[in-house]
Amino acid sequence: MLVATTNDLAGYRVTAHIGMVRGVTVRSRSVVGNLGGAIQSIFGGNLTIYTELAEHARQEAYDLMVAHAQRAGADAVIGMRYDANEIMDGITEVLCYGTAVKVERV
């Protein structure tokens, strides 16, 4: 599956637009994660506990979007974007979306 943030793919021609596809995951921070993050924040720098949580959530949303595109019969997803919203304190929705298309090499 080809995935791009651009609206075209170098070396390919879009032959059909299938439609929007998405992957959504909702994540919460654990008590242990919050404690670890608080300790890391005392020393400053990269808060690896939160970085890993964010990366895992993005990857899960991405994988769900790719699966949605495959089920729809797409060869590629163009215009891919991420979005995140805090649903409530400590609970975040991560969305990955784009346009599913059929492509052929040029």
Query: What is the pLDDT at residue 101?
Result: 98
The architecture CATH gives domain 2-105: 2-Layer Sandwich (3.30)
Provide the token pair at 44: 């400053």
Q: In this predicted structure, what is the pLDDT of residue 47?
A: 63
According to the model, what pLDDT value does residue 65 have?
98
- Token duo for residue 34: 């919050």
Q: Are 47 and 40 in contact (CB under 8 A)?
A: yes
Question: Distance (Å, rounded) from C-alpha 31 to C-alpha 61?
Answer: 23
Find out whether 76 and 12 touch, Cβ atoms under 8 Å: yes
> What are the structural domain ranges in the chain?
2-105
* CB burial of residue 93 (10 Å; 0-12, 13-18, 19+): middle
The mean pLDDT values, 10 residues at a time, for the chain of 106 residues are 96 97 86 52 64 90 98 98 90 95 97
- d(CA 71, CA 22) in angstroms, rounded, equals 12
Query: According to the model, what pLDDT value does residue 35 have?
Result: 54
pLDDT of residue 48: 72
CB–CB of 101/25 below 8 Å? no
Which pLDDT belongs to residue 43? 58
